[in-house]
């Protein structure tokens, strides 16, 4: 573990490491002089798991600031177990058989949002949103083939594979935006809570998007299918009927398979 300090005056750094249960695994203190300094502490533990490292200046009464999704006072890290001696090295006929991905922000200062964390954690799957509201935000929008396909060049060069997410409808298809005169609210937004106003429009978008993905799949030689995740945590947001929800999957499944022979439809989360 390396501690970097930039101090106006000398101070004592108190540090500790706790596991995911909050149980202290190690702790200590060291003195640092004013100015810039780096103190390294060797880690001898063989434990795997999820840990949090906290550090604080005792005299200045200051700690690590909040940064992005990291709360103030600590930084987290994971240690993967080495199971090769017990299970042998894993082998996969196709990279998509490796079922580990990541959800959420993975940005690190000085790097892109996929690397180096994906490689370090041996994750392969990337969430690739192709939501209707993003690609066709208005009824007059006419997406290009490239907009249906989406950009995947970074993922190809990083050796990653993707699954597409299809969640919600745009504002012009949100039934809650319909006014009494049949028009639409100008300030209405997109939604994932209700089915679309027009099932035929919905199926047309899903079909065009799925057809475009047949052009993309050859770019991923380690992947044999396109994977489509339909809805996202509907148990939290869905306000339509059960019949509407089942029809959403029926329409999606039919439109995808009619246009993408290598499709696998997933969901719900």
Residue 4, φ and ψ in degrees, nearest 5: -105, 130
Domain positions in the chain: 2-83, 90-266
Fold of the 2-83 domain: Immunoglobulin-like (2.60.40)
Q: Taking CA 125 as the corner, what is the angle to CA 150 and CA 128, rounded to the nearest 5 degrees?
A: 25
Taking only the tens of pLDDT, the chain with its 269 residues reads: 899 999 999 999 999 999 999 999 999 999 999 999 999 998 888 889 999 999 999 999 999 888 877 889 888 888 888 888 888 888 888 888 887 777 655 555 555 667 777 777 778 888 888 999 999 999 999 999 989 988 766 677 677 888 899 999 999 999 999 988 888 888 889 999 999 999 999 999 999 999 999 998 888 887 889 999 999 999 998 999 999 999 999 999 999 999 999 899 998 88
pLDDT value of residue 107: 52
Q: How many angstroms separate the CA atoms of 202 and 133, rounded?
A: 11
Contact 193, 237 (CB under 8 A): yes
Which sign, positive or negative, has the C-alpha torsion 78, 79, 80, 86?
negative
Hey, what are 70's tokens? Answer: 């990291």
Which run of H or of E encompasses 154?
Answer: helix 153-157
């Amino acid at each position: 573990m390396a501690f970097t300090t930039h101090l106006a005056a000398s101070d004592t750094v108190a540090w500790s490491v706790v596991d995911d249960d909050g149980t202290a695994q190690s702790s200590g203190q060291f003195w640092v002089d004013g100015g810039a300094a780096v103190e390294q502490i060797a880690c001898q533990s063989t434990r795997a798991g999820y840990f949090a490292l906290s550090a604080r200046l005792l005299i200045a009464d200051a700690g690590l600031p909040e940064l992005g999704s990291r709360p103030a006072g600590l930084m987290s890290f994971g240690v993967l177990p080495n199971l090769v001696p017990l299970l042998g090295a894993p082998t996969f006929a196709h990279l998509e058989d490796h079922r580990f991905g990541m959800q959420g922000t993975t940005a690190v200062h000085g790097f892109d949002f996929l690397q180096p964390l994906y490689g370090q954690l041996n994750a392969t799957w990337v969430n690739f949103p192709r939501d209707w509201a993003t690609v066709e935000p208005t009824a007059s929008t006419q997406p290009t083939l490239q907009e249906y396909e989406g950009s995947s060049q970074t993922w190809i060069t990083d050796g990653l594979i993707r699954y597409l997410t299809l969640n919600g409808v745009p504002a012009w298809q949100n039934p809650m935006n319909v006014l009494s005169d049949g028009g639409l609210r100008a300030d209405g937004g997109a939604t994932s809570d209700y089915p679309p106003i027009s099932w035929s429009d919905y199926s047309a978008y899903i079909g065009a998007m799925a057809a475009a993905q047949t052009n993309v799949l050859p770019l991923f030689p380690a992947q044999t299918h396109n994977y489509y995740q339909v809805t996202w945590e509907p148990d939290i947001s869905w306000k339509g009927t059960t019949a509407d929800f089942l029809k959403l999957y029926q329409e999606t499944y039919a439109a995808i398979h009619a246009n993408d022979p290598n499709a696998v439809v997933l969901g719900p989360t």
